[in-house]
Structure 1
Amino acid sequence: MKKTIFDKIVVGFVLLVIVIFSVLALYTVNMTQSKLLSNTEQNLKTESKLIISTTVTDYMNGLIDKDTFYQKLDEHAADMDAEIWLSTANGEIIYCSNSESPAAKDMMITDFYDRTDIYSQTVKTGTLNGCFSAKTLSLSTPVYQDKSYAGLLSIHLSLQFIKDIAQKTFASTYMPFLVIVVLSLIALMLITNSTLKPIREIIATSKQYATGNFNARIDVHTDNEFGELARYMEEMADELSRSNEYRKSFISNISHDFRSPLTSIKGYIEAMIDGTIPPDKHEKYLQIVLNETKRLTKLTQGLLELNNFDSFDLQLDKSNFDIKSIILPTINTFEGRCQDKGIYLHAIFHTDNTIVYADRTRIQQVIYNLVDNAIKFTPEGRQITVQVTEKSDKIFVSVKDEGVGIPPESIKKVFDRFYKTDPSRGKDKTGTGLGLAITKEIIKAHGENITLNSKVGEGSEFIFSLPMQKEMQVPIKAVHVKKEEATQYISNGKFRIKKN
């Protein structure tokens, strides 16, 4: 079974608690036993001193008889719950409070103590050479009479009571702690289970995302990190879904746009090779092939440019320049097309302050794309107007046509790559569907906006904004068209190209 990270946390917590508890319990028990042993040893020394100074001294001085002496020693042993031995100067044990003890069977004190230990007070713990079955504290104190060694008084106390006290202390102190630990573990398991539930839900939904089901929703609605993660994952899924749809649309569109000219090129060349098209008409169809090749080249260039926009941030070479200096030459490039279609193309400048801060080459590309798009969809006899206005420290450029217009449901899609409305296809099949997408990316890179207003049958108007000039040491002068050089294009203050 796969272990979760929370399983590891619980196991680690349990092991940590067990280790801490064991170390703490061991330390406390050892400290308790050591303290009790020290206190007991001190009490035995006090009792030994008292017995020697009273009972033993009275017996040696003849103040009490032997029977009374033994009786008092029995009382001392009973009071202390200990075993008392008394040996003479030659080492013979003459008294043992426990008649069952080996010491009561005509033993010598040297059978239990080294000879060097009987002349000074000594403390021993253990069984005393097997005399006791359990661990015992033995205190031996020499008895002197007139500064002469007269014997040895030994008090032996079983240490079982210390073990019993330690166990009682453990039970009374640490059992509640163990209960608290167990309850904490149960609470941790419950919390872990409630925490794992949203994670399991997120994992399950992530697996659906991995299979391509981006419509799956995560059933986590908590106001915490898990809820935030779920929301971000759903947003990621929505973005992936849009990217997937774009990818499918991209492949479909590019396949169509490449297939059509390639099919035409292939068909015309095969027809010329097999003689279906006679040699005297080769020039005509070779021109068609050339046009289709140009169309493919334009499409490829547009794709490469958009790919660069996606892969890298668009690098702009910004500077101050007069917007007139690119609008007027751009209009001139369309003179022939406008004359062929009978379209009026003119520029109107509603402000003398036409200096902007932008990338000159890119903005020229924007104006070219918008005018080119307007010419494609404007019928004969209609007009296209390029206007420049100033508002709120911005320069606004408008390209307005009197063409077929765009349906309301298509307005939001015209900036999508490869998107073409049915009316916009018209008779002009040269468009790639990338011009407006490139235009929007360029304006977006400048931090500005481009908008579209359109009505079916009335025409469309594209409006984009640019920042006004930045302060520079050398100001840019506005471009003025000489009247004698532009007489044929000026009518009522408007720059105009018209059919002769």
Structure 2
Amino acid sequence: MKKFLFVKFITAMIFLGILGFTAISLVGTDLVEDHVESVYSGRLYREASKITGQRAIKYYQNIDTPTEFYDSLCSSVYEKEEILLISPKGKVLMDTSQKFIAEDFPELKSFDPGKSSGSYYQIGDFFGYFQEEQLSVMVPVTVNMQVKGYVSMHLPMSVLCHQRDSLLDTIHILFLLFLGIMMLIIPIFYIMINRPLKKIIQGANTFASGNLKYNIPLDKEDELGYLAMTLNYMSDELDMTGNYQRKFISNVSHDFRSPLTSIKGYTEAILDGTIPPEMQEKYLKIVVYETDRLYKLTQSMLTLNNLDEKGRQLDYSDFDINRTIKTTAEAFEGICRDKRISIELFLTGQTLFVHADMGQIQQVLYNLIDNAIKFSSPDSIIKIESTLKHETVFISVKDTGCGIPKESLTKIWDRFYKIDSSRGKDRKGTGLGLAIVKEIINSHKQNINVISTEGVGTEFIFTLQKSVSEN
């Protein structure tokens, strides 16, 4: 298996490092240069303003001599800075980089005070005065509302470039240090991400090969741990589904084979004359009975299949559950007469409205009553009761039959499950009736319970939602 994810992660880290270094070199250079120019121009402007506001005014008011003012300018100069005193017409009266002169002042070319006065600064040769590019600021000296001259301060751009390069070098070093720290994520990534991911991939490959009993050995409380837990749960469910399908096929094969064997044997015996004509009616009735069993089994399987459909909508309505119990019980009048079984109804009120799917609740009642009759002895009584407690309707179907063994109580809801006594005469059910009942009650988000004692009887109790407004 190729480690594409790990390689992509390392490649992305290297790419981001190169991209970041390039961005700092290109974009960062301009940003740092603008910052350096802003800082130095601001400092020069403040110094020039301080000079014009103090010593320059004294000079123009003849309080300080030219020599004294020149000396004060020289004392204000930092390394590589130059200060000029300029006349309104552009003559350089003083230059701190040269000796004091009293005559033959050099004149600036095309001098324009408005170009750099105030808070503005300029970069260049300052009207052709310098050979090297300078960062220049110029502040007017004002006495009695009249401009007497200008004080300009200059700093070679080479100083600014050196400062800019120093800052960029520092930034580059910090970036490389940060990138080195980020590279430490690679072994951390390998331990925390890549190793668990390899276990998950190994588990997925094991599942794909058909071994659904395998569990991914990953005990983490993060997204990868959740993914492993989900895959383990999925494999367990698929394994259970596979077991269920095998069991389902086995049960269906058994329940189909028995009646088909009887039908095939009796029809062949009738056709080849083994069964004499005077006895054919008896065996044809058996064939009809077995055919009816197959029909019921097929219908039950189709019902369960419909109940299993996801997104299935229930046809909710408000109906009288007492009336539904009566009509369902009346359908068993003939079989109860034949077996001498009585059905007694204990219903709350004349009417008791519930909110449910009427057709499916009829199916629940039919299956429970049919189950009670199947396991009841002759001359016994089946009691059906409806009660209302705390806005919930309880329906009970109770028989006095053989009861259910304690170890079978949790299994009776399984599809095709039959306790041993149910395989006797007149108890040839499909093993799907109670599974259908459970699915219908669960789909209504209600509950069903069973209470049973061997040799005493069985009682099934399920709940329904009471109708909000009874008619």
Q: Same fold (TM over 0.5)?
A: yes
Q: Which amino acid aligns with 1:268?
A: Y
> What corresponds to 2:191 in structure 1?
193
The CA deviation at 1:172 is 5.7
Instruction: Give secondary structure in 2 for the equivalent of 1:436.
Output: helix
* CA contact 1:314–1:445 (8 Å) conserved in 2: no
Instruction: Give secondary structure in 2 for the equivalent of 1:19.
Output: helix
Alignment of 1:59-138 (within 5 A): none
* CA contact 1:323–1:354 (8 Å) conserved in 2: yes
- CA deviations 1:206-234 (Å, max 9, x no partner) are 22223333332222222222222233333
The CA deviation at 1:452 is 0.7
* Equivalent residue pairs, number: 377
Q: Distance in 1 between matches of 2:275 and 2:407?
A: 44
> What corresponds to 1:267 in structure 2?
265
Larger Rg: 1
* CA contact 2:323–2:351 (8 Å) conserved in 1: no
Instruction: Give secondary structure in 1 for the equivalent of 2:411.
Output: coil
The CA deviation at 1:252 is 0.9
* CA contact 1:351–1:390 (8 Å) conserved in 2: no
**Using a 3 Å threshold, how does the CA distance of structure 1 residues 161 and 357 change in structure 2: closer, same or farther?**
closer
> What corresponds to 2:214 in structure 1?
216
**Using a 3 Å threshold, how does the CA distance of structure 1 residues 350 and 4 change in structure 2: closer, same or farther?**
same
* CA contact 1:377–1:404 (8 Å) conserved in 2: yes
Q: Distance in 2 between matches of 1:364 and 1:268?
A: 36
> What corresponds to 2:384 in structure 1?
386
The CA deviation at 1:188 is 3.4
* CA contact 2:382–2:400 (8 Å) conserved in 1: yes
Name which of 458, 461, 468 aligns with 1:463.
461
Q: Which amino acid aligns with 1:459?
A: G
Give aligned-pair identity as a percent: 42
State whether structure 2 residue 331 is matched by structure 1 residue 339.
Answer: no
**Using a 3 Å threshold, how does the CA distance of structure 1 residues 351 and 371 change in structure 2: closer, same or farther?**
same
Q: Which amino acid aligns with 1:25?
A: S
The CA deviation at 1:267 is 1.5
**Using a 3 Å threshold, how does the CA distance of structure 1 residues 348 and 171 change in structure 2: closer, same or farther?**
closer
Q: Which amino acid aligns with 1:394?
A: T
Instruction: Give secondary structure in 1 for the equivalent of 2:286.
Output: helix
Instruction: Give secondary structure in 2 for the equivalent of 1:387.
Output: strand
Q: Distance in 1 between matches of 2:335 and 2:129?
A: 128
Instruction: Give secondary structure in 2 for the equivalent of 1:320.
Output: strand
The CA deviation at 1:13 is 2.1
State whether structure 2 residue 18 is matched by structure 1 residue 18.
Answer: yes
Q: Which amino acid aligns with 1:15?
A: F
Instruction: Give secondary structure in 1 for the equivalent of 2:468.
Output: coil
Q: Which amino acid aligns with 1:189?
A: P
**Using a 3 Å threshold, how does the CA distance of structure 1 residues 3 and 329 change in structure 2: closer, same or farther?**
same
Instruction: Give secondary structure in 1 for the equivalent of 2:345.
Output: strand
- CA deviations 1:66-108 (Å, max 9, x no partner) are xxxxxxxxxxxxxxxxxxxxxxxxxxxxxxxxxxxxxxxxxxx
**Using a 3 Å threshold, how does the CA distance of structure 1 residues 27 and 360 change in structure 2: closer, same or farther?**
closer
Q: Which amino acid aligns with 2:383?
A: T
Q: Which amino acid aligns with 1:20?
A: G
Q: Distance in 2 between matches of 1:466 and 1:354?
A: 11
The CA deviation at 1:53 is 8.3
Instruction: Give secondary structure in 2 for the equivalent of 1:266.
Output: helix
Q: Which amino acid aligns with 2:412?
A: V
RMSD (Å) for aligned C-alpha atoms: 3.8
- CA deviations 1:106-127 (Å, max 9, x no partner) are xxxxxxxxxxxxxx999799xx
> What corresponds to 2:393 in structure 1?
395
- CA deviations 1:305-335 (Å, max 9, x no partner) are 1111112444333333322222223222222
* CA contact 1:10–1:189 (8 Å) conserved in 2: no
> What corresponds to 1:246 in structure 2?
244
Alignment TM-score, normalising by the size of structure 2: 0.69
Q: Which amino acid aligns with 2:4?
A: T
Alignment of 1:221-370 (within 5 A): 221-352=219-350, 354-370=352-368
Q: Which runs of 5+ in 1 are unaligned?
A: 37-41, 55-119, 126-159, 476-500
* CA contact 1:330–1:368 (8 Å) conserved in 2: yes
**Using a 3 Å threshold, how does the CA distance of structure 1 residues 23 and 402 change in structure 2: closer, same or farther?**
same
The CA deviation at 1:164 is 10
Instruction: Give secondary structure in 2 for the equivalent of 1:259.
Output: helix
**Using a 3 Å threshold, how does the CA distance of structure 1 residues 53 and 242 change in structure 2: closer, same or farther?**
closer
* CA contact 2:32–2:168 (8 Å) conserved in 1: no
Alignment TM-score, normalising by the size of structure 1: 0.65
**Using a 3 Å threshold, how does the CA distance of structure 1 residues 173 and 311 change in structure 2: closer, same or farther?**
closer
Q: Distance in 2 between matches of 1:204 and 1:254?
A: 37
The CA deviation at 1:338 is 2.0
Instruction: Give secondary structure in 2 for the equivalent of 1:388.
Output: strand
